[in-house]
Amino acid sequence: MGFRFVHAADLHLDTPFSGLSATAPEVAAELRDASLAAFDALVRLAISREVAFVILAGDIYDGARRGVRAQIELHRGLRELSDRGIRTFVVAGNHDPVDEGWSAVREWPELVTHFPTDEPGSVVVERDGMALATVYGISYGTKAVTENLAARISRGEGPGPHIAVLHANVGGNPDHDAYSPCTLDDLRGSGIDYWALGHVHTRQVLHRDPWVVYPGNLQGRNPRATERGAKGALVVEVDDAGMIHEPEFVELDRIRFEHAEHSIDGVADLVTLRDRLVDLGHRRLAEADGRSVLLRVELIGRGPIHGDLHRPGAVAELVDTLRGEQLSAAPFLWWDRVDVATRPVQDLDELLGRNDFVADLVEEAALLLADDEARTARVAEWGDELPSDLVHLLGDALPRPDDPGRWRDAEELAVDLVSNDDT
């Protein structure tokens, strides 16, 4: 008998978003509600798809304190699923370890399974008297679990596809703490058909046959790279033969963190820049499909407004202007920050007339750019003469004789570094 299940993780219910409380209390309030609204959307998804069960792979709460509001909303949602005949399997992770947290809930709905901390538990899922799958799981007792919990889980005698729920860092992902560390080979050799993982906030399929999958978190929590873009859960289809198909990602987040680069090339003044940023914000909001957006922009490129952007208070006032124009009723756009990584326009003819080291540098670069053989010879000399640690430090900035564009970039960078431009 075929069936579906939902795989979600890292709900972090009731995340406080304290960093925005002072500067934008209305945005902070919306963000705090976002994790709960995303969980409600998860419940609606499970019901609409008529799934057999829902997996929550750890970090259900944001911390061991487990706010009352988050616990009440979790209980309400799981009770609704249970009333519809949908099971829920839950493991605790490093943010919500069983032994270090307080629970306001004394009794959970009938079809909710919280896996234990001492040994893996296993449950056979049935529907209409027929066995569908066997689900395993183990929870964190304390936050800093450094044991390889995956080594405790192996395929038993249960029917159907075997699915394991685990909060773990597979392969030493550097963006997340090394809790319950394991290798992909550990998981592949277990006999489990689908590893429903949590802990890593970036959605990714690490392996197929067996499936080793992170769904990512349900709702972005901050502007870091791992929290940006669409967030949600996976719907996994299992056919009549027990074959597990490609997980389907469903967006469930309510507020989206986005990042964009915007070039100042050809931008005449700050008024034009503001207009272009407003257009950029409108596009990102439209792409979010009814969700609110927190947008962080990095200004790059080279142009005449480089100096204007470095005037005291200029960027802060620009951001205030953008916020005033585009913060409105949901879905809203909140300009989180504008970072400046621009460079000034350099007039090479003017620099040539300075009769100093900068002029010599520009002249040498121009001569080498026009002469392929001389350029090749000079780069060869650098390979012999430059210290290896400097070559390593320069990396991609080290010019290549066969790439004039990269040569020009290196020239511009060198001029910027030695021309003592105060802007």
Distance between CA 5 and CA 125 in Å, rounded?
A: 11
Sheet of strand 53-57, all strands in order from the earlier edge strand to the far edge: 112-114, 87-91, 53-57, 3-8, 232-238, 248-251
Strands (E), 161-317: 162-167, 169-170, 181-182, 194-198, 204-207, 211-214, 232-238, 248-251, 255-263, 292-300
**pLDDT on residue 411:** 62
Domain ranges of the chain: 3-251, 255-340, 348-418
Query: How many CB atoms are closer than 10 A to CB 367?
Result: 12
**pLDDT on residue 422:** 45
Query: How many CB atoms are closer than 10 A to CB 397?
Result: 11
Distance between CA 185 and CA 377 in Å, rounded?
A: 48
| Per-residue model confidence as pLDDT tens for the chain (423 residues) | 899 999 999 999 988 765 666 567 788 888 889 999 999 999 999 999 999 999 999 999 987 667 889 999 999 999 999 999 999 999 999 998 988 877 788 899 999 999 999 999 999 999 988 999 999 999 999 988 999 999 999 999 989 999 999 999 999 888 888 899 999 999 999 999 999 999 999 999 999 999 999 999 999 988 899 999 999 999 999 999 999 999 999 999 999 999 999 999 999 999 999 999 999 999 999 999 999 999 999 999 989 899 899 899 999 999 999 998 765 667 899 999 999 999 877 655 666 666 677 677 677 777 777 777 777 777 676 656 666 665 665 566 666 667 766 666 666 666 666 654 544
Distance between CA 34 and CA 51 in Å, rounded?
A: 24
| Cis-peptide into 331, omega within 30 deg | yes
Distance between CA 74 and CA 96 in Å, rounded?
A: 13
Alpha helices (H) along 49-164: 68-83
Distance between CA 156 and CA 162 in Å, rounded?
A: 8
Classified as helix, coil or strand, 103 is coil
The correct CATH number of 3-251 out of 3.60.21.10, 1.10.238.10, 3.40.50.2000, 3.20.20.10 is 3.60.21.10
Q: Cβ-count burial of 75 within 10 angstroms (0-12 exposed, 13-18 middle, 19+ buried)?
A: middle
**pLDDT on residue 418:** 60
Distance between CA 36 and CA 73 in Å, rounded?
A: 7
**pLDDT on residue 100:** 83
Distance between CA 112 and CA 98 in Å, rounded?
A: 16
**pLDDT on residue 133:** 97
Strands (E), 280-332: 292-300
Q: What is the DSSP letter of 298?
A: E
Strands (E), 157-207: 162-167, 169-170, 181-182, 194-198, 204-207
Token pair of 299 as six digits: 């200004």
- CA proximity to 356, closest of 415, 273, 401: 415
**pLDDT on residue 240:** 93
Q: Cβ-count burial of 280 within 10 angstroms (0-12 exposed, 13-18 middle, 19+ buried)?
A: middle
